[in-house]
């Protein structure tokens, strides 16, 4: 086999594994007994979702995040896409985070939001986006939003993956089991400061 052809085939095979698989059916409504429900049993309700008409519960950072995925919206199953509604109180933030399996595109429904991402050279691409604006966050890059207006803001985001994944940087660093001494050396913090950060980001125990 010609060397360049071999590299091309290798590239194509790797690229095909780097995104959600293409569907082989028109749609696949999840079933408790089989992979997909009999398509003749599907109804228009399977392809309509009304769960993001209003904001959900807000976190301590002033963020309400309402995911739209196949778990709540059966019609999305196997289609390689998902979405999210994000509401931000004035001054509220969506902390730095990234999606390992998807590019995200956001549309501002209303409000004024400082949004951006950081590339692999640590260059920040950020600006204030307003109602009607669209911004894209490339796959796997850290990005963030903050409401810089005086009124609540709402952003709608869509992903090119059924399961984009979300890893919030503060939670990943201080809410996991990374060694305290490593964190102390990496960030120039004292052990006392590391412990305090852990208190803020460790998962709360369920009662």
Tens-place pLDDT, residues 32-60: 888 899 999 999 999 999 999 999 999 99
Does residue 10 lie in a domain region?
no
Number of domains, the chain = 2
pLDDT at 16 over 80: no
123 shares its domain with 177:
no
188 lies in which domain range? Answer: 166-207
97 known member of a binding site: yes
Domain membership flag for residue 111 = yes
Q: What is the pLDDT of residues 170-202, one digit of tens each?
A: 999 999 889 999 999 999 999 999 999 988 887
Residues 62 and 157 both lie in one domain:
yes
Mean pLDDT of the chain: 90
CB atoms within 10 A of CB 88: 27
In a domain, 128, yes or no: yes
204 or 38: whose pLDDT is higher? 38
CATH number, domain with residue 146: 2.60.120.10
Was 94 annotated as part of a binding site?
yes
Q: Check whether 104 is labelled as a binding-site residue.
A: yes
Look at the block and give the residue holding tokens 């400082």. Answer: 114
CA distances (Å), origin 171, targets 18, 48, 146: 26, 33, 18
In a domain, 101, yes or no: yes
Distance CA 133, CA 50 (A): 23
pTM exceeding the 0.85 threshold for the entire prediction: no
Q: Residue 118 and residue 123: Cα distance in Å, rounded?
A: 5
């Amino acid at each position: 086999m010609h060397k360049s052809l071999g590299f091309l085939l290798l590239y194509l095979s790797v690229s095909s594994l780097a995104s959600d698989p293409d569907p082989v059916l028109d749609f696949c409504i999840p079933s408790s007994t089989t992979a997909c429900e009999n398509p003749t049993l599907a109804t228009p309700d399977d392809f309509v979702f009304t769960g993001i008409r209003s904001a959900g519960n807000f976190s301590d950072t002033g963020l309400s995040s309402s995911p739209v995925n196949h778990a709540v919206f059966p019609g999305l199953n196997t289609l390689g896409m998902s979405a999210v509604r994000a509401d931000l109180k004035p001054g509220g933030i969506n902390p730095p985070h990234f999606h390992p399996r998807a590019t995200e595109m956001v549309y501002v429904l209303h409000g004024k939001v400082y949004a951006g991402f950081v590339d692999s050279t640590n260059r920040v691409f950020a600006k204030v986006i307003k109602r009607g604006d669209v911004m894209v966050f490339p796959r796997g890059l850290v990005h963030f939003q903050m409401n810089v207006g005086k009124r609540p803001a709402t952003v709608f985001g869509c992903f090119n993956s059924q399961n984009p994944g979300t890893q919030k940087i503060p939670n990943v660093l201080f809410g996991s089991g990374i060694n305290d001494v490593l964190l102390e050396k990496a960030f120039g913090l004292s052990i006392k400061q590391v412990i305090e950060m852990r208190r803020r980001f460790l998962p709360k125990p369920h009662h």
